Structure 1
Amino acid sequence: MFGFGMPELIVVLVIVLVVFGANRLPEIGGALGKSIRNFKKATSGKDEIEIKPGRDDEKKEN
């Protein structure tokens, strides 16, 4: 897709390992996965806002 082969991916992984350290790699991977999941959910076009009309009984009692 972008012309990345296995050697390029290994070089990028080594650079990330040196910069962030081995202990932080699982945290970075988890955060990256969550952000991709949230981005896909946001671009799917489904609105999560649910508007429910209020009941007339509650309005009259107040």
Structure 2
Amino acid sequence: MGFLKDFGLPELLIILVLVVLLFGVGRISKVAGELGKGIRSFKSGISGKDEDEKEETPEENPTIEPK
């Protein structure tokens, strides 16, 4: 993989500009958001906690009913 040794900052900037021109900023932000959700889901799956299994916390301001 000798061609990767000559891959520097100018080449990365050119690729970044091409990607933005091809897909647009909105599409890239959507993909990044979905990637973040996927990583979060993966981490919660590894730790064994699902959204359905979250620990129930008591209410911060419990309502007191009058007698």
Report the TM-score range of the alignment, normalised by the length of the smaller protein.
0.3 to 0.5
Q: TM-score, normalised by structure 2?
A: 0.43
Q: TM-score, normalised by structure 1?
A: 0.45
